[in-house]
Amino acid sequence: MNVHDLLYGELAAWISNAIVAVIVTLMFVISLRLFLDRRKKGYMSMTISLVIVGIHHLLQMALALRSYNPSLTSYTLHMLGIISFVLINMGIYQLYNRTSRRQYIFFYGLIVMGFVVSVLHFSIPQLYSGTEQQVRLLQDIGFELYIFVIIFLCFYMIPPYIGQQMKYQLALTIFFAQQLVHLMNTYMYGSAQPALTLAGNVLPIVYYFLLFLLLFERVVELMQAIYNSSITDGLTRLYNRKFFYTRVSQHIQRHIPIAVLFSDIDNFKKLNDTQGHQMGDQVLKQVAQIMKEEAEECGIAGRYGGEEMVVMVSDPGVKMESFAERIRSRIEKETIVTASIGYSKYKNGLTADELIKQADEAMYKAKTTGKNKVVKYS
């Protein structure tokens, strides 16, 4: 074994395909697991396409044995390449979108056109009488040019509908460069140009690595979305009651001096009855945004239930009287409602339940002694 074989020879091509096979296997495991867990069509398309990609590259690795029919093997490789490329791009689209009949017609139509183009592969030997090498090159030219058509269609039609657009377009650009290098090396240099051969072995690795990153980051996005939905309120996007209570408990267990603010929108039921639930939801969002903005640098805000919203202040430098009054004032000025607010500070021996209950009692006192005011628990 020498450096030339390692970089440009059959061993280099074998290593390139082996690396791609490993990346594709990792993608397959992720995609299959997601499909089994979520039963989403995008993961099914991706999984099937990765199986075809794996077969495609395993077949290329097996070519080193040289016990094959050149024409039949070339046809099989090109059709597997077209089918897997189309399905991978359909899978990427489906990761972000529901697939309508129109999209299915588009993607499966590309595969059908691949079979139409393949007619040329079997017609050339009857139409052209040249050397075996010339006939084989002409047989493949239809496949080679058709894959460029698919690349351009995917490049301009898919990115507007998915996330990670730049990464996806970069991957397609790398794939385009890979096909261009292959075309030049095969038809212009007879696969004898070392630099193009090296690029042809490296670019597939880069392409599938980018696809792996795209799939992996999509999984992270989904996991983050699932986690966020489990800890936040769907309407206001504030933390939900369970998460808020857990955070208060964690701080108390560590004896961190915190304060809890408890607020309730005044006359909220009357607002719902007279102006409708849509207006009520809009007011909840407005009040929640004020709470979130005020709590951003000193703690966390949550929706405790109905029109009740809470803040845990973990910054000991915050003056709770001023902080609570600022929230009350903003609600009065920036919305069509007012709020009664109570707050309590942590003292040794208090539990999370007791601290939150104290703030609730202070709020109730504000509510029953005039509303639209701040009361400290005492």
Residue length, the chain?
Answer: 378
| Residue 376: φ, ψ to 5° | -90, 140
Which residue's structure tokens are 């040019």? 145
Do the Cβ atoms of 191 and 197 come closer than 8 Å? yes
φ, ψ (nearest 5 deg) of residue 145: -75, -35
Rounded-to-integer distance, Cα 344 and Cα 378, Å: 8
Residues 363, 367, 369: CA angle, nearest 5 degrees: 115
Which uninterrupted H or E stretch holds 260?
strand 259-265
Query: Which residue's structure tokens are 């909840």?
Result: 284
The DSSP bridge partners found for residue 265 are 339
Percent of the chain residues past pLDDT 70, beyond the cut: 90
Calpha distance 223→211 (Å, rounded): 18
pLDDT at 303: 94
- Model pTM greater than 0.75? no
Q: What would the pLDDT profile of 228-272 be if each residue is shown by its tens digit?
A: 888 999 899 999 999 999 999 999 999 899 999 999 999 999 998
Pairwise CA distance, residues 61 & 273, whole Å? 72
What is the torsional sign of CA 89, 94, 97, 98? positive
CA–CA gap between residue 350 and residue 346 (Å, rounded): 7
Write out pLDDT tens, residues 142-165: 888 899 999 999 999 999 988 889
- Mean residue pLDDT of the chain comes to 87
Which residues are registered as beta bridge partners of 342? 262, 375
Answer yes or no: are the C-beta atoms of 361 and 367 closer than 8 Å: no
Residue range 310-353, pLDDT digits in tens? 999 999 899 999 999 999 999 999 999 999 999 999 998 899 99
Domains, in order of start, for the chain: 3-231 (1.20.1070.10), 241-376 (3.30.70.270)
Q: How far apart are CA 282 and CA 132, in angstroms?
A: 74
Q: 1-10, 57-66, 156-165, 180-189: which has the minimum mean pLDDT?
A: 1-10
DSSP 40-93: -HHHHHHHHHHHHHHHHHHHHHHGGG--S-HHHHHHHHHHHHHHHHHHHHHHHH
CA angle 323, 325, 326 (to 5 degrees): 65
**Distance between terminal CA atoms of the chain?**
84
